[in-house]
Structure 1
Amino acid sequence: MEEKIKQIMEVFHLAENLKRELRHSWLSDGRQESVAEHTWRVSLMAMLVERHLEQDINTTKLLKMIIIHDLVEAKAGDIPAFDTLENEEAKKLKAQNEEKAITHIKELIGGEQGREWYYLWHEFEAKDTYEAKVANALDKLEAQIQHNEASIETWLPIEYDMSYKLGKHTSFSPFLEAFKDAIEQEADTKIKNTSRFGPK
């Protein structure tokens, strides 16, 4: 039992990095967002939307997938999507670093639970199952919501176009499509009503 508690504590200490690992997202008060904050709100979104989805979903599995997905960033760091969008070398390096991180986490936890987390992380990445598709969609939608809440002065030029490209993540679900439309409309209103030099 003492050894198991030690392993659990090591995971907790590793996860603390997510409170300090910053994303390329800013809060409405001008502070940069941590990975832990993003993960928490994606989890909240899952709890709010799961009853509105068109298919039955394993909520426990969905929440595990969301939390485990970002845990690799405690070792590999957070790489914004636009940094790898058209850079195959960067994309490959990111994948290698994340594979090393999830393997380390699997070994750190050990046993059946370590293997479960490892496979759930890969299931998310593959985006083949319903839970993985929902988890991925919510991950992308939450990021856009956060951009909408932040000052537009924090947006990079590429993020204006990316605000209208969420559909590839939500097209499998009419409810998530409607959710996406509302988020894109919010972004569209922000872009039209605000310039980089302040409100019009």
Structure 2
Amino acid sequence: MKVLEVVKLGEKLKQELRHSFLSNGRQESVAEHTWRVGLMAVLLTPYVQKEVDVAKLLKMIVIHDLVEAFAGDVPAFDTMHDAAAKEQKIEREMASIDRIRDMLGGALGEEVRALWLEFEHKETTEAKVGHALDKLEAQIQHNEADIETWLPIEHEMSFRMQPHVEFDETLTLFKELIEEEAEQKLTAAGIDTEPLKQRAKR
């Protein structure tokens, strides 16, 4: 069992940068994103309609980005309309979680891999909540960053969060607050949001 090695692997997530910027202009790390998704889980799960195993949810959140220590971070817009790129991402991440499982070995390695897969499949309540929070946090961070750091595709993506939250009323309401902030930011920058909303519905 190589727990210390996997803990040290987590340090790579402090170095791995996402396509998101902080309000002070610095680029965000994967570790920073993961931490705030965990914070959102603690603060929002008491209001989610279905019962949530918070300990399991937090495990999933901590684990799900760990594969990026090997596979790197791939922005959602890079695979959104590219089936080949999406398949390559899946293959790299599967190889990464298998590698992490083998590093840990035994029951712990299998548990970590199973939690990662559960998150990816988005079928259980915990996986659905974790996936929704992951998407919502990303948009919150965009809202906090300078609009000049946004790519044009991210203007439209601000209005594509509904499918991730529609299973829960609380998360839907939270999404609407985040979406409203995004719309205000885009409008203030002179960007017409109506065409973006229409394209997002397709």
User: Which position in structure 1 is the counterpart of 2:111?
Assistant: 116
Q: 2:122 aligns with which of 123, 127, 130?
A: 127
TM-score relative to the length of structure 2: 0.93
User: Which position in structure 2 is the counterpart of 1:95?
Assistant: 90
Q: 1:33 aligns with which of 19, 28, 32?
A: 28
Cα offsets for 1:52-99 (capped at 9, x unmatched): 010111000000001110000011000000000111111111000000
Q: 2:44 aligns with which of 40, 49, 63?
A: 49
SS of 1:71's partner is coil
User: Which position in structure 1 is the counterpart of 2:131?
Assistant: 136
| Paired AA for residue 106 in structure 1 | R
User: Which position in structure 2 is the counterpart of 1:154?
Assistant: 149
Distance, in Å, in 1 between the alignment partners of 2:113 and 2:71 is 15
Extract unaligned runs of 5+ from structure 1: none
SS of 1:164's partner is coil
Q: 1:189 aligns with which of 181, 184, 190?
A: 184
Distance, in Å, in 2 between the alignment partners of 1:110 and 1:50 is 31
Q: 2:69 aligns with which of 74, 86, 97?
A: 74
Overall identity of the aligned pairs, in %: 55
Task: Give the CA deviation at 1:195.
Answer: 4.3
**How large is the Cα RMSD of the aligned pairs?**
0.9
SS of 1:23's partner is strand
Task: Give the CA deviation at 1:149.
Answer: 0.1
User: Which position in structure 2 is the counterpart of 1:83?
Assistant: 78
Cα offsets for 1:139-162 (capped at 9, x unmatched): 000000000000000000000000
SS of 2:19's partner is strand
SS of 1:49's partner is helix
| Paired AA for residue 187 in structure 2 | K
Q: Which runs of 4+ in 1 moved over 3 A?
A: none
Extract unaligned runs of 5+ from structure 2: 192-202
Task: Give the CA deviation at 1:194.
Answer: 1.9
Cα offsets for 1:145-187 (capped at 9, x unmatched): 0000000000000000000010000000000000000000000
| Paired AA for residue 51 in structure 1 | P
| Paired AA for residue 170 in structure 1 | V
Matched, 1:59 2:54: yes
Distance, in Å, in 2 between the alignment partners of 1:19 and 1:165 is 28
Distance, in Å, in 1 between the alignment partners of 2:50 and 2:81 is 34
Task: Give the CA deviation at 1:12.
Answer: 1.4
TM-score relative to the length of structure 1: 0.94
